[in-house]
Chain A
Amino acid sequence: MATKSGRVISHKSEFSLAKLFLRWEALLILIFLAVNVMNICLSPYYLNAYNLFTNINNFMNTAIIALPMAFILLLGDIDLSVGGNVCLSATMLGIVYNATDNIWLGIAACLATATLCGLLNGVILTKFSELAPMIVTLATNIIYRGLSERILGNGSTGGMLNVSWFSKIFYGRLFNLIPYPLIVFAVLAVVFGLVMHKTAFGRRMFAIGSNKKAAAYAGVKVDKIRLLVFTLTGFMCGLSAVIYCSKLGSVKSDVADGFDLEAISMCVLGGISTAGGKGTMVGAVIAVFTVGLLRYGLGLINLEGQTIRIIIGALLICVVMFPTIRDAVKKLFAKKK
């Protein structure tokens, strides 16, 4: 893409207060606070810690996918197959558990399936690097969900919650307060953030996302990194599937529909460009909570699911357009002077 050619990969600018406030994360924090204020006004029970954690827990399985999705977008790729992947690996968990009566085998099968699915995406995309990731993962999404449909038919698989500790994965709480999925997410978010911003691997991802060719000529092993990131995404889908199974205890072939777009919109709201090479993990994490809590708040005033989607869609576009609007306003003032 020609428009990418002018981008600076890394630069240090001098500190300025105005710039700090105009940063994407500052805007996001403002929105995040606004959402929380709105929720507090709407419900007197909102700030009850136990309730709050219950609500946060409910969007943790998408949130966990948003983390590797941030990596993928950073590379300038996209993965539309995460929904199908979660569905297929959750199916495998149920099937293997019911066949062997051993939940550990089920979890192993689930994680293995998910990782394999991610690996398949990665292999196809690196062997046929001229293919757009969008169309490949679109096709594999249909395949993964289709396989689950083949296995389950119109029925479902379940019974996982008979293993009492398995249901604790979702419903259990540390100190009777903090749900385990949130702890998993927090730890992973820190790890992913450190990898993205503090390691050579992270810098290489930024380099690939900014200019794939230049990165390859500079000695970055583009294929290897892409393969790794897609496989990692697969594994995280498996993790999300385990949490999903622990939450509902049964799997149908339509679970996790739309996870892909939800995770992508969370990342984009967090300032990670789908063109690649731009974004921070902090932004993505704030966006995850903003979207999740906004959804909960709008649910409080009894808005229907689809109406909530209108608001989230409009918010997404307005936020993404914000830099353009800001520049236009700046130009307007500059002209007047």
Chain B
Amino acid sequence: MNQKTLRKPGKIGELFRSREASLLLVMVLLVAVIQWRSGGLFLTGDVIKNVTQNYAHTAVLAFGMLLVLLIGGIDISIGATLALSGMATCLMMRDGYITNPLVAYLFSMLVGTVCGLVIGLIVSKGKVIPIIATLGMQYVFRGLAYYIAGYDWVASDELLPGYKSFAWSSFLGINNLVWIVLIVFVVMFVFLKWTGFGRQIYAAGSNPEAARISGINIDRVKIIVYGINGTIGGLAGAMATSLYGNAQGSTAMGAEMDVIAACVIGGVSLNGGQGNAFGVLLGAITIAIISKSLSLVGIDAFWQQALKGAIILVAVLVNVLVQRNVARRALKRRDI
């Protein structure tokens, strides 16, 4: 768990051996290969804009999932939270209760927060294992997303024009959705690294027993973390619906799998207490590149799913091998 303390202080060596560095290297190689194989089609303004815009909500979700994974939990209902909050917001807009895009975003985040808090309460006070709690709530949220809309969907012309154009316009040459990702990233980075509560999350994840004895209220940490995750789910719900210009019950079906994969590739451990925001950002970008680039390299559409799975698997396996190597070296150094 604590390889950092075992290492000799050496800034550059540490930089090269860190997880993020190896991931960055893999990413650069990946981009280089794609750029070469696609005949220079990949690194163009259009493609980059397209990729970042379309995967913005997945990336945002990954930061929420990071918090949940850090405390040793997991949330497989986040795709359903996204669908429910997005649907609720669009229905409010259709029926004329919401007339301002900003209010729509806030409302969606509110719905998401409520979903997250419910999960947090079930996990902490109800003592239900996270995967089961979120499995059950996934059914509930997804079902509700269909139910509140009466098994219908909200079409593009029923949404506010400002709401839809927000996702397609830019500020300082960068798409608004991408700005949201960057803001969430910075906030999450600072929050986890330099605030007391952020450190409490790490403590609660790496050793709950010790954290409890040292005076951390684990239940409170859990509820707040799932709450924040819900808020981010709601935010992503608004982002997705404004990007697609419609809301359906099936929005983001299976998104949780992409999100968890992004986190794991980014070096977050499913056992809790390990991982950081920068790694997750890299992981999310990697997933986005994989998802988008395969068609550019001329691989036909029906291969893409299988290859995506294989790449995720290989990335995870390579990560394990690297970690084993690091641990072995650390052990050797201690012997001397």
Contacts and interface: CB of A to CB of B under 8 A. Distances in A.
Given A128-B317, A135-B264, A138-B260, A310 B147 contact: yes
A3 B304 contact: no
A302 to B, nearest CB: 12
B136 A316 contact: yes
Contacts of A132: 264, 270-271
A309 B310 CA distance: 31
A287 to B, nearest CB: 13
Interface of A, secondary structure class, is helix
Interface stretch (B42-50, B120-128, B184-192): B120-128
Contact of A142 (B257, B271, B303): B257
B305 A142 contact: yes
Contacts of B151: 304, 306
A134 B74 contact: yes
A314 interface: yes
Interface string A1-17: 11100000000000000
A78 B139 CA distance: 19
Contact of B136 (A2, A145, A149, A265): A265
Interface in A156-186: none
Interface stretch (A19-27, A111-119, A191-199, A267-275): A267-275
A321 B122 contact: yes
A146 B306 CA distance: 4
B32 interface: no
Contacts of A299: none
A56 interface: no
A261 B312 contact: no
A321 B135 contact: no
B209 A313 contact: no
B103 interface: no
Tell me the dominant secondary structure on chain B's binding face.
Answer: helix
Interface in A114-160: 124, 128, 130-132, 134-136, 138-147, 149-150, 153
A78 B126 contact: no
A150 B306 contact: yes
Interface string B265-307: 0000011000000000000000000000000000000111111
A324 interface: yes
Given A128-B320, A136-B316, A312-B139, A150 B302 contact: yes
A136 B75 CA distance: 17
Nearest to B130: A274
Given A131-B320, A136-B316, A314-B140, A321 B128 contact: yes
A135 B65 CA distance: 14
Contacts of B131: 78, 134, 274
A102 interface: no
A145 B303 CA distance: 10
Given A143-B310, A314-B140, A317-B137, A150 B270 contact: no
Contact of A274 (B129, B260, B317): B129
A320 B313 contact: no
B270 A138 contact: no
B260 A143 contact: no
Interface in B311-336: 312-313, 316-317, 320, 323
B230 interface: no
Interface of B: 72, 74, 122, 125-129, 131-133, 135-140, 142-144, 146-147, 151, 207-209, 249, 257, 260-261, 264, 270-271, 302-310, 312-313, 316-317, 320, 323
9 contacts: A124-B313, A132-B270, A261-B135, A265-B136, A273-B129, A316-B132, A317-B136, A320-B129, A324-B128
Given A130-B320, A134-B74, A135-B316, 18 more contacts: A2-B209, A78-B131, A132-B264, A142-B309, A143-B309, A146-B308, A261-B135, A265-B139, A268-B135, A304-B146, A308-B143, A309-B140, A310-B143, A310-B144, A313-B135, A316-B136, A317-B132, A317-B133
